[in-house]
Amino acid sequence: MSQTSTANRPRSGSVTSACAYCGLSRSKLYGQAPRYPGLFKKWDGKTIVDFNILDQIIDGLPDAAIKAPGPTAGKLKTATAAETAA
């Protein structure tokens, strides 16, 4: 079951809108077709994406392991005199 609320999005959409929704490129999205039957549908010759299936794919992804920034994160490196002379 998808954890994403469907109240704020359409049931399906164009490939372009699906790419904007999930953050994938068209080629990456189309690359998921063999793994996820039903992700793409045809309607009068137009390809649409089933957002419920797309949500299931996203829900099944592992959480990203993000490391905390180090002690120097956010600090700009100042150029030395030799670097600025180059």
Burial (CB < 10 A; 0-12, 13-18, 19+), residue 18, is buried
The neighbour count for residue 71, using CB atoms within 10 Å, is: 7
38 CB-near residues (< 8 Å, 6+ apart): 50, 53
Per-residue pLDDT of the chain (86 residues; tens, 9 = 90+): 445 566 788 999 999 999 999 999 999 999 999 999 999 999 999 999 999 999 999 999 999 999 988 777 666 777 776 666 76
Report the predicted TM-score, pTM, of the whole model to 2 decimal places: 0.68
User: Cα Rg for the chain, rounded, in angstroms?
Assistant: 21
- Asked if 63 contacts 27 with a C-beta cutoff of 8 angstroms, the reply is no
